[in-house]
Chains A and B, each alone.
Chain A
Amino acid sequence: MKIYVTGAATTKFGELWGVSPRTLAHQAVGSALKDANTEASRVQALFVGNMLSGMLGGQEHLGAFFAEELGLSVPAFKVEGACASGGLALHNAVNSLVSGQYDTVVVLGIEKMTDHKPEDVATALMGAGSEEERSAGATFPGLYAILARVHMKEFGTTEEELAAVAMKNHYHASLNPNAQFRNALTVEQVMKSSRIADPLKLLDCSPISDGAAAVVLSTIRTKRSIKIAASVVATDTLGLAQRKSLTELAATRTSARRAYGKASVTAKDIDVAEVHDCFTIAEVLAMEDLGFFPKGQAARAISKGQTTVGKAKDIVVNPSGGLKGCGHPVGATGVKQAVELVEQLRGTAGKRQVQGAKVGLAHNVGGSGATAVIHIFKSPK
C-alpha cells in the first residue's frame, strides 16, 4: 500500500510566550488540512507526538486533549519517544494506514518548553536518559559532549569544524520565515559563546523552543502529494556507557540500512536531508551514520560547505535550519522535518529551495541515540 503526505504545515518556532499549546495545535493542524484541501470531517485518527506535556505542563491524556480542542471526535493517541516523539508519531500513523484501519489521519507534533526555567527543562529532558546518567548529574549537552570528545580524539575533528555546523544551519534558518533564529552566525561567535558542557558551547546547542507541526497522511494520492517511501524505527540502549562504540549511533545506522532497502535507494540518491542536529556533533555523527560521508570525514565536509544550500553538489542538509537554527520543540521536530521535505520535494521552499530535489530523508533521534526514526520521501515527478 502506498502512503502519501497530502498536507503539511508548521507554526513559527521560537519563544512563544503569548501562544498556548491549544493555539499552536489549531495553527498547525488547520494549515495542514487547508494545504491538503481536506475537511476536518475526513480525518479518522489523530497521532500526537509530544514528550514533556506531563512533566512540564502537568497534562497527560494528550490524545483526547487535542482531539477535543481540534473538534475531532476520532481515535487519538499521544506517542512518546523523547526527542523522536514526532518521528515516532509519524511512523505509528503510517502503520495505521498500512493496516487498513484508516485512510486519512493527522499527525501533530507539538511542544511547549519556554514556559519553564532551563534547570527544570534540563531535568525533564533527562527523562530521556538512563537512571545511571540522571544519577551522574549528566545533561544532554553533556552526553553529546562525551561523544564529541571521542570523535575529536579518533578523527581529529576540531571545535571550529563543529562550530561550522551551527554557522551553516543558522544560514539556512535565515532563509526560513518560520525559524526561531534568523541571524547569521560566525565560527568565532560559536567559539566565544559560553561553555555548557565542554567541549560544547552555547551556540553548539539547539535551543529550548515552542512550536507545532502537522501533516495529513492519506492512502489516496492527490495532485500535490508526496510519497512516503520508507518509515523505519530502531532502538539502542538508553545509556551511552552500555554501547559498544562512542563514535556512532548504532540505531541511526540500523534504521538507515533498513530504510534505504525499503525505499530502494542508496545514500547517494538522497538530494536533501533533515537530520537531528540537537548539538553540532550530532549532525556530524548523522552524516556519517547515514552513509553520506565516510566515518571521520563529515565535519570537514560540512565546514567546507558541501551540505550548504546553493553550494552543495550532492546533498543539502537541514535546509530548514535544523534543530539548531529552526528551533527544537522536541515533540514537533520530527514532524517539522517531514513538513520541510514535503515543501522541498514540491519545489515550494522559496529561498532555501534545493534545486531539483526528488528524494528526501528525515532523521529524528530520541535521547542520545536510543531511538532513531527515518522517513524517506519521494516526489511524484
Chain B
Amino acid sequence: MNSPVKIWRNQKNIAGLVGKFGTILSWTIVRVPPGDFTDQAPYPVVVVELTGGGRITCQLVDYDEKHLVFGQNVVTIIRRVTHPDPDGVIPYGIKAKPV
C-alpha cells in the first residue's frame, strides 16, 4: 500500500537513480498486470545493467519493438508509476527509455 509518507521518503532514493545509462540484460512484456497497472498493459519490464555498476528492474517506455534486444542502450528517467492515491499524492519512480 502506498502512503504519502512512504512516497516522500522514497523520493530521496529515486533522485539518485535518474539519468543513468545502461544496457538491457533481459526483458519481458507484461500482458496480465497487477491491479494498479491495468491501464498501462501491455508494457515491457527490463533488467538493466547500469554503466558504473548495479542493476535495476524497471519499465521500458518510449520504445519500438526493435529496442527489445539484449544489450540495447537505455537511460533512466523519472515517470509517474501508477495513479495518484486517495490522498492525491502522485507516485513517481524510475523507468528507462532507449537511447
- Chain B at the A interface: mostly helix, strand, loop or mixed? strand
Instruction: Report yes or no: A246 in contact with B25, Cβ–Cβ below 8 A.
Output: yes
Is B52 close to A, CB under 8 A?
no
Considering only residues 48-86 of chain A, those with a C-beta below 8 Å from chain B are none
* In contact, A240 and B47 (Cβ under 8 angstroms): yes
**CA A153 to CA B47, docked complex, whole Å:** 15
B30/A137 in contact, CB under 8 A: yes
A142 sits at the interface (CB 8 A): yes
Chain B residues lying within 8 Å of A198, measured Cβ to Cβ, are: 28-29, 31
Contact pattern, B 22-48, Cβ under 8 Å of A = 1, otherwise 0: 000111111111111110110101011
How far in angstroms is the closest Cβ of chain A from B37? 4
Please give, as numbers and ranges, the residues of chain A lying within 8 Å of B55 by CB-CB distance.
241-242
CA distance A241 to B47 in the complex (A): 6
Task: Check if A150 sits within 8 Å of B25, measured CB to CB.
Answer: yes
Q: Are B33 and A137 in contact (CB under 8 A)?
A: yes
How many residues of chain B have a CB within 8 Å of chain A? Answer: 33
B25, A138: Cβ atoms closer than 8 Å: no
**Is there a chain A Cβ closer than 8 Å to B74's Cβ?**
no
B32 in contact with A197 (CB, 8 Å): yes
Chain A facing B: main interface SS: helix
Using known A-B contacts A119-B38, A137-B37, A196-B31, determine if residue A142 contacts B56 with beta carbons closer than 8 Å: no
Interfacial chain B residues near A241, Cβ < 8 Å:
47-48, 55-57
- A123-B34, A132-B56 as given contacts; A137 in contact with B29, CB under 8 Å: no
Contact between A136 and B35, CB atoms less than 8 A apart = no
B-side residues, CB < 8 A to A, are 10, 25-38, 40-41, 43, 45, 47-48, 55-59, 70, 81-82, 91, 93-95
Given contacts A123-B35, A139-B32, A241-B55, 9 further A-B contacts (CB under 8 A): A130-B57, A136-B95, A142-B45, A146-B45, A147-B26, A149-B27, A198-B31, A200-B28, A246-B26
Chain A residues proximal to chain B, CB less than 8 Å: 118-120, 122-123, 126, 130-139, 141-143, 145-147, 149-150, 153, 194-200, 239-242, 246
